Every structure is written in structure tokens, then in C-alpha cells.
Amino acid sequence: MENGRTPQDPHALEPTRLERLLFRLEAQHICLNWAVEQIRNRPGPVFELGLGHGRTFDHLRRHLPDRDIFVFDREIDCFADCTPDETHLILGKLSDTLPQARHRFAGQVVLVNSDVGTYDEAYNAEVAALVSQNLPALLAPGAIVLSDLPLNLPEAWRLPLPAAVRSERYYMYRSSCEHDRSFSQSA
Ligand SMILES: C[S@@+](CC[C@H](N)C(=O)[O-])C[C@H]1O[C@@H](n2cnc3c(N)ncnc32)[C@H](O)[C@@H]1O
């Protein structure tokens, strides 16, 4: 055994940690580009959950330059040139800010990019439950949700990932609309 791996070790056939990061960022890039086109002609605000260093926010604002993009985080830790202006930055814990957002944005949000996961699986389960609980009231009919964590959105469909995506750990949903409801009732 060398370097903590044997040649027969099944983990040796899985993507390396480096490849997993690469695939995750690639999935995010491909899915963001896809989602932006889906909502380009649909008015309504966009939510970025997890400013982090501001990379995905920077991508969204580049491709949706005239859109209101509201960015949620408990802290500002981004590249200086990726700091949202104060009218679009919603600072605080998601457990506070998402329920409050309902008063202003109920039923209006056309795209959510949720990027709040960590390496802590217990925290991921907790924050995914929080996001799942609060998003439905905010989403416009037919809204797209991208997420680094699996969400439980009863009024939404899980969408297949674009063919070029190599990560299985990325998630896309579309909230249902009247057309879906009448279709499922008549089917
Ligand atoms: C992975 S980073 C986001 C990366 C970012 N999208 C980017 O491209 O640079 C996750 C962010 O979510 C924020 N976050 C995680 N849980 C949160 C919570 N419960 N309330 C508010 N912010 C949270 C963290 O502070 C962190 O900045």
C-alpha cells in the first residue's frame, strides 16, 4: 500500500477530490448558463443564496445585467469587486432572512441559485431543510432552482442535468405552474 491506497481499492476508480471539485464547478457553470437562458424573457427577481467569494453572483450579474439579483449571506467575505450594492444584499442567517423575504417576494422569484453547502454533512442536511421549507412560498410558477444540495420541494420537479454535466451531486428543479397542474389532473 502506498499513499493510503491499494491498487485494488474501489475508491481508486472514483474521481479524485480534485476532479470532484472540477466537476462541481463545471456543473454549476453549465447549469447557471442553461438557467439564465430559461428565464431571460421572464420578469422577476433572482435570488443568490450564499455570496461566498462572489463567483456565482459575478456570473449571474454578467449574464443578467438588467435583473434584480438579491444576494443572501450571513457575512461579507467576497472579492471586493463582487460586493452587491446594499439594496441587493440581504445580510443575516437564512433562518431569519428567508422567512422575512416572503413579505416582499412571495410568488415572484424566477431563479434561485442556492450554494450554501459545506463539507459538514450534518450542517448540509440542516441548511437544505431550511431552504426547502422557505423557497416554495417565494417561487414564481415555473421558477428554476439550482442547488449544490438536494432539496425537498414538493411543488417542483427535479430536472435532468444538461448532458455535459459530469457531477451527479448537483440539483435542478422547476416549480410547477398552472399548465403542469391541469396536465397532471387530466392525465
Ligand atoms: C460555498 S459558499 C458560496 C460560494 C459562492 N456562491 C461563490 O460562488 O463564491 C457558501 C456561503 O453560504 C453562506 N451560508 C451558509 N449557511 C448560511 C446560513 N445559514 N445563513 C446565511 N449564509 C449562509 C456562507 O457564509 C458562505 O459564504
Span 36-48, pLDDT tens digits: 999 999 999 999 9
Closest-lying ligand 1 atom to the alpha carbon of residue 28 = 8
Strand, helix or coil for residue 168: coil
Instruction: Put the strands of the sheet holding 69-73 in their side by side order.
Output: 89-91, 69-73, 46-49, 109-114, 139-147, 171-175, 156-159
* The predicted structure's pLDDT at residue 18: 95
Reply yes or no on whether the pLDDT at 166 is more than 80: yes
Residue spans of the domains in the chain: they are 19-182
CA 148 – ligand 1 centroid, Å: 11
Dihedral over alpha carbons 57, 154, 185, 183 (to 10 degrees): 20
Reply yes or no on whether the pLDDT at 172 is more than 60: yes
Query: C-alpha cell of 13?
Result: 476508480
Span 65-105, pLDDT tens digits: 999 999 999 999 999 999 999 999 999 999 999 999 999 99
pTM of the model: 0.92
- Whether the CA torsion 160, 163, 168, 172 is positive or negative: it is negative
Residue 103 burial (CB < 10 Å; 0-12/13-18/19+)? Answer: exposed
CATH architecture of the region 19-182: 3-Layer(aba) Sandwich (3.40)
The full length of the chain comes to: 187
Q: Is the CB of 126 under 6 A from ligand 1?
A: no
* The predicted structure's pLDDT at residue 2: 63
CA 160 – ligand 1 centroid, Å: 25
